[in-house]
Chains A and B, each alone.
Chain A
Amino acid sequence: MADSGAGSAPKPSSSVKLVLLGEAAVGKSSLVMRFVNNDFQENKEPTIGAAFLTQKCTLPTRTIKFEIWDTAGQERFASLAPMYYRNAQAALVVYDITKASSLTKAQHWVAELQRQASPGIVIALVGNKADLANPSSGTDEEGAEPPAAPPSGPTDTDAPADADGAGVPADGEDASAPPSGADSDDGADGDDAAADARKVPMRTAKAYADEEGLLFFETSAKTGANVAAVFTAIANAIPETSLKGSRGGVGGQTSLGAGRGQEGDRVNLTGRAGDMGAKEGCAC
């Protein structure tokens, strides 16, 4: 399979475990499919056993290989296992801009990440389904829609995305409804533009993200708008020091402290396990 980075000298490459969180049906999987399928390294594993999808993101100085973990539905009844958060270096917390309660849920997940995940985790808050909003509805001045990333451009864009907010103007006033509670998230509650399904003003979410130190984007998995930019911004935001060698997704906080190398300190089960399986027969 063609590697778009071919030709140039190999850049240092690191694996980064990224976990997805968010209410059901906000488009978590769609975002990932948009990101991953646009590119050269679609994970070819069958659905069964596909614990995570991988996608590279090439930055000017390094290549980040995302291992993107989906919740596999375990969030539905609040039954995510601690191992899901373990060593995650990045998290994508997704809400639906047309559903106010989904931002509340997203805030819950952010709190959960701050409680459960590694202290240095990079969290991006993503308002998805931006295509359902009027272009001007997010911010009533300046008509600032999210900077339109090429819908299906290469994800390994070299353009360093603005890591601190994706150029979302954070203008001041706009008295929008705070994202409190699960109030009427369907049905038009006083929105003027009939075609505009937006329920979460961009500035509300942006203000929250700024307060918590999160990256913030509005995206459309449907059109692809801003999807690549999210991942590029995350890749840029991950501190160099927390990156491990190419085998990864497991370089976490404790291994940093313990100075334990990545490979070689763990036992490789597949080295001789094959022989063993053949010899003893496998129970399954």
Chain B
Amino acid sequence: MDALEGTHWDVIVSGTGLQQSLLVLALSRSNKKILHVDRNDFYGGNEAAFSLQEARSWVIERPSSYSLGARAVEKPSGPDESGASTKLGPSRAYSLSLAPHLIFTRSALLPILVSSKVHRQLEFLPVGSWWVFNRSPEDPSSSPTAGPKLTKIPSSREDVFASDAIEIRSKRALVKFLRFVAEYEAQADVWEPFASRPFTDFLVEHFKLPKDLHDPLLALTLSLEHHSHTTTILALQRIARHLRSMGVFGAGFGSLIPKWGGLSEIAQVACRAGAVGGAVYILGTGVVRVESDEKVGEQNDDGSSQSRAVRVGLGGGISVTADWIVGSRDDLPSRTTRGGLEDAATPGSSTSQSVSRAIFIVSSPLVPLFPPISEGSPRPAGAVVYFPSGSISTEESDQGSNAPPIYVFAHSSDTGECPSGQTMMTPN
């Protein structure tokens, strides 16, 4: 560490989340001298992936300055009726992702990974089926055996036609809608009047889609809002993204998950590639102080008087200088002296949303959740289960009707996130 004292860097990047890591990767290939630090002793920031033990200490020990709310770890000690093994595997057999993501196959991220060649160190697995949770029918007598069940969302127009669950008339309306979404941008006259109205209004008023078909479409929006707040424009963008992503890398799937813990793995691979390109890495050392420094500024050799050089204090009392310092607000000191920093983020826009998230380790492979998707396509390792607003009882739904829906990302052990025979479930 002492060897760093007084060194000068083109760029100091604070935090090893996905964005910072990709930035360093790019800069390291532009012959920039980069110091990449993270106050955490792990890679990935808010997208990190942990062993069981690491997850436990993360929950218990995170400093309160972290922009996260309440959190807890529990190991249920309930009776084991089935006799199945509910034992956890060794801590390191798990890779608990703090922020599981779906990467749509049309995502701009993927071409970046390919062109930078870091994709060779990554493995991507397909997300197969999307499911909708259906409550038991209102009138249980109509179908005595019917309990709550999961219904698979058709993944293509062919699937829609093949489905027994949809009436012929509804099928026509649905296919008409799907055709429309495929080219919705060119038909602004159709949707613009509904743009900021609830998506369900649009489905009912324009496409006459029956209510039982709303949930599958809402599921595809991945909207974290109650459907009365899910606007038509958002829904169209998201559903179009979903449909256009289908089949890009193989039939029957439109999104991917990186093996071994999601975005954390991409961040780590990017950081390693950054290191190969010359970036210097220090974990467990944050930026504690940033101030402008005239003396450093005078050394600026491009003749411009607009020097950006800053003096940066790192944890451990090390002081270095840099032309640029980059980091999210989580990773930079909140106060900087004499405007040495520009806060690029829009300040305090009050759109902050809070999301509740949990990670469940399920002692079953839940094979039926991951049916084969299509001949010739890789075996799916992920599935999405959509619980419509109010379909299950939560504290929020008990208090009001506008409870948000819940998405559960299910990852099979093929993701390397848990031992074989178990499944990771992450409700959002």
The proximity string for B residues 333-368 relative to A, scoring 1 for CB distances below 8 Å and 0 otherwise, is: 000000000000000000000000000000000000
The verdict on A257 contacting chain B, using a C-beta distance below 8 Å, is: yes
Q: Report the stretch among B227-235, B248-256, B305-313, B391-399 that lies at the interface.
A: B248-256
Min C-beta distance of A41 to chain B, whole Å: 17
Contact A116 B92 (CB under 8 A): yes
Interface residues of B in 86-145 (CB under 8 A from A): 92-93, 105-106, 108, 110-121, 123-126
How far, in whole Å, are A84 and B281 apart by their CA atoms in the complex? 14
How far, in whole Å, are A71 and B283 apart by their CA atoms in the complex? 15
With A79-B281, A260-B414, A282-B115 already in contact, the answer to whether A267 and B125 are too (CB < 8 A) is yes
| Chain B residues positioned under 8 Å from A78 (CB to CB) | 283-284
The verdict on B215 contacting chain A, using a C-beta distance below 8 Å, is: no
Min C-beta distance of B167 to chain A, whole Å: 35
How far, in whole Å, are A284 and B112 apart by their CA atoms in the complex? 7
Contact B281 A51 (CB under 8 A): no
The verdict on B73 contacting chain A, using a C-beta distance below 8 Å, is: no
The verdict on A175 contacting chain B, using a C-beta distance below 8 Å, is: no
Contact A72 B248 (CB under 8 A): no
| Chain A residues positioned under 8 Å from B260 (CB to CB) | 83, 86
Q: Report the stretch among B199-207, B266-274, B286-294 that lies at the interface.
A: B266-274
Interface residues of B in 369-389 (CB under 8 A from A): 378-379
Q: Report the stretch among A90-98, A120-128, A268-276 that lies at the interface.
A: A268-276
Which listed residue (A51, A77, A268, A271) contacts B272, Cβ 8 A?
A51
| Chain B residues positioned under 8 Å from A159 (CB to CB) | none
With A76-B280, A82-B268, A84-B272 already in contact, the answer to whether A270 and B114 are too (CB < 8 A) is yes
Contact B414 A267 (CB under 8 A): no
The verdict on B221 contacting chain A, using a C-beta distance below 8 Å, is: no
| Chain A residues positioned under 8 Å from B281 (CB to CB) | 73-74, 76-77, 79
With A48-B29, A51-B121, A76-B280 already in contact, the answer to whether A267 and B43 are too (CB < 8 A) is no
Give the size of the chain B interface in residues (CB under 8 angstroms). Answer: 53
Contact A269 B106 (CB under 8 A): no
Which listed residue (A73, A250, A271) contacts B280, Cβ 8 A?
A73
Interface residues of B in 26-41 (CB under 8 A from A): 26, 29
Contact B125 A72 (CB under 8 A): no
The verdict on A258 contacting chain B, using a C-beta distance below 8 Å, is: yes
Min C-beta distance of B229 to chain A, whole Å: 30
Min C-beta distance of A44 to chain B, whole Å: 13
| Chain B residues positioned under 8 Å from A79 (CB to CB) | 281-284
Contact B378 A51 (CB under 8 A): no
Contact B249 A269 (CB under 8 A): yes
The verdict on A135 contacting chain B, using a C-beta distance below 8 Å, is: no
How far, in whole Å, are A269 and B276 apart by their CA atoms in the complex? 22
How far, in whole Å, are A250 and B414 apart by their CA atoms in the complex? 13
Contact B250 A267 (CB under 8 A): yes
The verdict on A240 contacting chain B, using a C-beta distance below 8 Å, is: no
Contact B419 A273 (CB under 8 A): no
Min C-beta distance of B51 to chain A, whole Å: 9
| Chain A residues positioned under 8 Å from B121 (CB to CB) | 51, 83
Jot down 24 A-B pairs with beta carbons below 8 A, ordered by A: A48-B277, A50-B276, A51-B117, A51-B121, A71-B275, A72-B272, A72-B276, A73-B280, A74-B272, A74-B275, A74-B281, A76-B281, A83-B269, A254-B420, A257-B413, A266-B378, A269-B110, A272-B249, A273-B249, A276-B105, A276-B248, A282-B112, A282-B115, A283-B111
Q: Which residues of A line the B interface, CB within 8 A?
A: 47-51, 70-74, 76-79, 81-84, 86, 115-116, 250, 252, 254-255, 257-258, 260, 264-274, 276-277, 280, 282-284
Q: Which residues of B line the A interface, CB within 8 A?
A: 1, 26, 29, 43, 92-93, 105-106, 108, 110-121, 123-126, 248-250, 256, 259-260, 265, 268-269, 271-273, 275-277, 280-285, 378-379, 413-414, 416, 419-420
